[in-house]
Amino acid sequence: MQGSIDIRVRYCECDPMGVVHHTAYPVWFEMGRTELLRSTGRTYRDMEAAGLLLAVVKLEVTYRAPARYDDLVTLRTTLERVGAVKIQHSYELFRGDDLLVTGSTVLACLDRDGRARALPDGALGTAPSASGG
């Protein structure tokens, strides 16, 4: 499953030189995950109301070229794998045809006490894969 969103770089996301600060990219990744889930007819809000919490347990970002103030960038988010407990996404951020940033996250399903729990079947619009996790 894959989706994309367009993001206009805001002034508050940049350093004094107009370059996007490294902390903005993980926030954009979350936006991509949220909209990818929304495209399946589900929302994080509904999942949390049902007691399904997802926590980022691994984050990787590779910065290839900077995004700058007022750039229009496109974030492509791909659901790579759904295991029994973990979900893996990958990300590609483009300005036009130029690849600026790549990344990945692993999220773990937790209960309200912070303990790992199995993802319910179909929680993300897809059944857990046989790869476990």
Per-domain residue ranges for the chain? Answer: 2-110
Q: How far is CA 110 from CA 40, 51, 73, in A?
A: 21, 9, 32
Q: Which homologous superfamily does the CATH classification assign to the domain defined by 2-110?
A: Hotdog Thioesterase (3.10.129.10)
State residue 127's pLDDT score: 45
Residue 33 DSSP SS3: helix
* pTM beyond 0.85, yes or no: yes
Give residue-wise pLDDT tens across range 51-84.
Answer: 889 999 999 999 999 999 999 999 999 999 999 9
The pLDDT of 80-90, averaged and rounded, is 96
